[in-house]
Amino acid sequence: MPGLDKVEQTIAATQPGVRSAVGHAPPPATPTQGHSPHQAIRPVLSLKEQKELLRDGKIWGFHCSKCKHDRFDPMLRCPKCGSTEIAKRQFSSTGKIVSYTIQSVASESFLNETPFAFALIKLDDGPMCSGWVPYIRNEKELPLGAKVEYVSSYKPGMMFEKR
């Protein structure tokens, strides 16, 4: 795009508002967008809906129908292929520990669970997500690759327990 530096070209390629500001037509309307190009794009699953499903013990996320990319975090466009064909999908509540750090000092919400591990978990049939595993004192108690399962909790974040 003439007149734009590399960063501006990247933004223009991914942001509909910037595209129309530099003289290009906005992307076509998607099912989540409706028929008006002025209507705000809405994800197929809101954060509020996702949190309510987590309270019910279900892990829901996002799935690109075009390239099959799965993601726990909200997405309107696929980060891999750029498609707007995004659907919601339920993922397994079990996974394996990929990485973690042990927290021995915590905020007031987690005082009774310290020490705990804040971990990256690769879900069995889906993407990675982060969560916490209570009462982990050292690396011997939670080896990498250990199986964990999501459990609904009144505490913030996603709590997993060792299987």
pTM above 0.85, yes or no: no
Please count the structural domains in the chain.
2
Query: Quick one: which of 55, 120, 125 has its CA closest to 133?
Result: 120
Q: CB burial class (10 A; 0-12, 13-18, 19+) of residue 63?
A: buried
On whether residue 12 sits in a domain, the answer given is no
The range of the structural domain enclosing residue 46 comes to 41-91
Encode pLDDT of 35-59 as tens digits: 555 555 677 888 889 989 999 999 9
Q: Are residues 113 and 71 in the same domain?
A: no
Q: Are residues 87 and 98 in the same domain?
A: no
Q: Are residues 103 and 116 in the same domain?
A: yes
End-to-end Cα spacing for the chain:
53
On whether residue 108 sits in a domain, the answer given is yes
Encode pLDDT of 110-145 as tens digits: 878 889 999 999 999 989 999 999 999 999 999 999
Nearest-angstrom CA–CA distance, 134 and 113: 5
Q: Are residues 76 and 122 in the same domain?
A: no
Encode pLDDT of 78-94 as tens digits: 999 999 999 999 999 99
The last residue of a domain, from among 30, 62, 91:
91
Q: Are residues 120 and 86 in the same domain?
A: no
User: How many Å is the maximal CA-CA distance in the chain?
Assistant: 59
Q: CB burial class (10 A; 0-12, 13-18, 19+) of residue 76?
A: middle
**What single DSSP character describes residue 88?**
E
Query: Quick one: which of 101, 96, 144 has its CA closest to 122?
Result: 96
On whether residue 13 sits in a domain, the answer given is no
